[in-house]
Amino acid sequence: MQCESSQELKGLIDEAKIYTKDGQVAQYIPALRDADPDKLAVAVYYPDGSCYAAGDVRHKMSLQSISKVITLALALIDRGEDVVFDHVGKEPTGDPFNSIIKLETISPSKPLNPMINAGALAVTHMLIGNTVEERFERLLNFVRELAGNSTITYNEEIAKSEFETAELNRAFCYYLKQHNVINEDVEELIDLYTKQCAIEVNSVDLARIGCVFAMNGIDPVTDKQVIPASVVRICKTFMVTCGMYNASGEFAIDVGIPAKSGVSGGVMGAVPHKCGIGIYGASLDDKGNSVAGLKLLEMMSRKYDLSMF
């Protein structure tokens, strides 16, 4: 997983970096609050295994909401499409990711899609395993395989902080339990979910995972089909329709790349048949997306004609 420095990407980063001042880093837990808002890094991973980068691409970030796509893939592998979509819907929403309204006003009482928190919790609930540890181990190994990086683990401090402040997610869980969408112990599910969000990767890891999605599930190095193509297709669709919280529609127009962001400032992009992109930039816009990261993706999409549309 060597990654070559690219002057071209460096130039784009310098240009995009000025937008970091338009946002701020996530404030709700110390580990995120302390991030350097001025950092910006990008890695591009190609199907032939080559990789180009600029900025501090070895800087680690927690997956946060980016994990929603990966757990969705694993849950689809574990349970199949029918079971998964019995528990969560397929429709995008104009509401913020943490909105509780839609749980009540659209029937049946299932979360609208797997990218909003309530839906992601329902997906994590479906991961197979006898214990939280076993289920998490399976997920972690899946992430390691996709990233081709067996050293990936999770940040215990972040997991702990998030567990302690996850009141809204607990509210979602009990609401889902009331409506029989989930039936496990809530504290266990929150434990699993916060660990999942705290898995730490760097931009190169993200780019390589994105590359697997870009290549319909085929590993760029081993050429093995590590995710079934039908599962990848579903994941990429959600990345387009709901990957950027309630800025997904705007992102689809302006950038047009299947991508998923997280409040740690990470963005994982999957340009179909072309490449995977991993970005780190902790300064967030008011929707929760990396403000300079999105600008960078927009520049790259225009310069290299990456939009699907």
Tokens of 233: 């297709």
Burial 245-257 (b: 16+ CB within 10 A, else e): bbbbeebbebbbb
Give CA angle at 166 (161, 21), nearest 5°: 70
| 149 binding a copy of itself? (CB under 8 A) | no
Residue partners of 188: CB distance under 8 A and separation at least 6: 132
Write down the least CB distance from residue 262 to a copy of itself, Å: 19
List the one residue from 56, 95, 184, 191 that touches a copy of itself (CB under 8 A): 95
Write down the least CB distance from residue 104 to a copy of itself, Å: 6
List the one residue from 5, 50, 178, 222 that touches a copy of itself (CB under 8 A): 178
Write down the least CB distance from residue 269 to a copy of itself, Å: 14
| 70 binding a copy of itself? (CB under 8 A) | no
Write down the least CB distance from residue 73 to a copy of itself, Å: 13
List the one residue from 241, 261, 283, 289 that touches a copy of itself (CB under 8 A): 241
List the one residue from 131, 137, 168, 304 that touches a copy of itself (CB under 8 A): 168
Smallest Cα–Cα separation from 112: which of 122, 186, 264, 9? 122
Burial 34-59 (b: 16+ CB within 10 A, else e): ebebebbbbbbbbbebebbbbbebeb
List the one residue from 17, 39, 102, 295 that touches a copy of itself (CB under 8 A): 102
Residues 185/176, Cβ–Cβ less than 8 Å:
no
Q: What are phi and psi of 51, to 5 degrees?
A: -150, 135
Residues that bind a copy of itself (CB under 8 A): 89-95, 99-106, 112-113, 167-168, 170-175, 177-178, 186, 233-234, 236-238, 240-242, 246-250, 252-253, 256, 258, 272, 307-309
